Amino acid sequence: MLDTLLVSPREGSRLQMRDPGDRLGLADKASAAATVAARLDELSMLQNRLWAESSRSLLLVLQGMDAAGKDGTIRRVLSGVNPQGCRVSSFKVPCEHELDHDYLWRVHAACPGRGEIGIFNRSHYEDVVTTHVLGLIDAEARERRLRHVREFERMLCDEGTTVVKVFLHISKSEQRERLQARVDDPEKRWKFRLEDLATRERWHDYQVAYEEAIDATSTDWAPWYVVPSDHKWVRDVAVASLLASTLAGLDPQPPQPTENIDGVVVD
């Protein structure tokens, strides 16, 4: 399943040809829930080992259109991990202090430390996608930033951080339903902004900008995965499986005790 989600650096994402409603061969919501539960158990064990090993880290980058499910993915897929070794960072419009530095300054500061899993709810990709669509940077600046991003992620990987990037792919019709649900539900209204409608009007521009950014930055060291997200339960299986598989590949090992404790009996 994960192979079909991977964006090959040599083939590109072909985002417009991917079905946001793809069920990835999953039978139904109930069986998906059982798969997620199994993956979360595995993820919990592997995260504990990563934390104990304390020599490497994992960074999950989540991107997508408004209402694609970034918050829901974090809430559902990371529900079983130890908060002590997990850090979520969100990147909104930069403040004045952040604007006094280069655009990657605040991003680098939020990267996970050794032993941690870091999650970016939106990320440095806002600085190459949103800024481009809104005309805040020109084509030359965007190409320069795409090169910066590739090199920045290469440096992270070289220094022990595994970078996994997920684009939560939803359809325009599904986005409409989710945004309307925010308007209609008093518990969700706080998440809705009128500017979401302005962004929605430029749906095509954003889709093209994301496809170009994904194609330019899906590398062997920091690949992109496009996860169909019209069905939340499909999304959860895919992201949970991706994280568990990535951590299993790292094979973190807890350190040996500093003293010989074989045969110790605690009264």
What's the pLDDT at 121?
Answer: 95
143 CA to centre of own chain? 22
Is residue 146 a contact partner of residue 213, using CB atoms and an 8 Å limit? Answer: yes
User: What's the number of CA atoms in the CB half-sphere (13 Å) around residue 25?
Assistant: 6
What torsion, rounded to 10 degrees, do the Cα atoms 218, 221, 224, 225 define?
Answer: 140
Residue ranges of E strands in 138-177:
161-169
Q: How far is it, in rounded angstroms, from Cα 152 to Cα 104?
A: 9
Predicted local distance difference test score (pLDDT) of residue 48: 95
Give the integer Cα–Cα distance in Å for 11 and 50: 32
Output the pLDDT for position 211: 97
pLDDT of residue 235: 97
Say if CB 219 and CB 150 are below 8 A apart: yes
Domain 2-250 architecture: 3-Layer(aba) Sandwich (3.40)
Among 81, 92, 89, which residue's Cα sits nearest to residue 112?
A: 89
Tens of each residue's pLDDT in the chain, 267 residues? 889 999 998 888 999 999 999 999 998 999 999 999 999 999 999 999 999 999 999 999 999 999 999 999 999 998 888 888 999 999 988 999 999 999 999 999 999 999 999 999 999 999 999 999 999 999 999 999 999 999 999 999 999 999 999 999 999 999 999 999 999 999 999 999 999 999 999 999 999 999 999 999 999 999 999 999 999 999 999 999 999 999 999 999 988 887 888 888 898
The SS3 assignment for 135 reads coil
The 3-state DSSP class for residue 177 equals helix
Q: Exposed, middle or buried: residue 256 (CB in 10 Å: 0-12, 13-18, 19+)?
A: exposed
The answer to whether the CB of 155 falls within 8 A of the CB of 107 is no
Tokens (6 digits) for 32: 């998906």
Q: What is the C-alpha to C-alpha distance for residues 42 and 64, in angstroms, rounded to an integer?
A: 26
Nearest to 121 by CA among 65, 183, 61: 61
Domain ranges (residues) in the chain? 2-250
86-90 β-sheet, strand order: 86-90, 117-121, 57-64, 161-169, 224-228
Strands (DSSP E) along the chain, which ranges? 57-64, 86-90, 117-121, 161-169, 224-228
pLDDT reported for residue 263: 83
Q: What is the pLDDT at residue 74?
A: 95
